[in-house]
Amino acid sequence: MNEEIINQLQAASERFATAAEALERTLERLDAQSEKIDRIVATVEEREADSDGAARKALEARIADLERANTELKAEAARAGAQRKTLPPLVSAILAKNGYEQVEKVAPEVLDKTLAALSIEQRIAVKSEMARAGLIE
């Protein structure tokens, strides 16, 4: 019986040794794959960092261009506001029919009385144009 147990133990130990060797080979392959994955991740991160830097620079350049354009538009609007303000021909014609040839400033009650014959939409249009021209507030 001792001999049988010894044979069984030897067979079991050989199987354990074979399994241990297989496990070692598997671990070595996993380590190799892990190293490859680490290199791939590092490469991808480098490329992302490079492209993020380029994208950031492009965005910053675009923002600078837009800010410059905004500043120019504000300056142009200020110049346009300082220039002589005129009314569209339709508004001038309506006011001329009611005796206002040259209009400097119009009192709101006089304007309401003058525009009473017009429809609501026309009154709103005339008032908005006059406000845009700076003739009323």
Digit-coded pLDDT (tens) for 124-133: 888 887 777 7
Q: How many domains does the chain have?
A: 2
- CB burial of 8-40 (b: ≥16 within 10 Å; e: otherwise) equals eeeeeeeeeeeeeeeeeeeeeeeeeeeeeeeee
Burial 84-114 (b: 16+ CB within 10 A, else e): eeebeeebbebbeeeeeeebeebeeeebeeb
**Same domain for 40 and 77:** yes
**Could you tell me if 75 and 50 lie in one domain?**
yes
Residue found under tokens 């049988």: 4
Do 14 and 45 fall within a single domain? yes
* Nearest-5° Cα angle at 23, 19 to 25: 120
Co-location of 1 and 16 in the same domain = yes
| Its pTM surpasses 0.75 | no
Q: Is 60 exceeded by the pLDDT of residue 62?
A: yes
Asked whether the beta carbons of 87 and 133 are under 8 A apart, the reply is yes
Shared domain for 66 and 15, answered yes or no, is yes
Range of the domain at 137: 84-137
Q: Would you say residue 32 has pLDDT above 80?
A: yes
Residue-wise pLDDT tens digits, 99-126 = 666 556 667 777 788 788 888 888 888 8
Indicate the residue among 44, 64, 83 that finishes a domain.
Answer: 83
**Rounded mean pLDDT, 62-79:** 84
Contacts of 69-75 with C-beta under 8 Å, sequence gap 24+, read none
- Same domain, yes or no: 49 and 4: yes
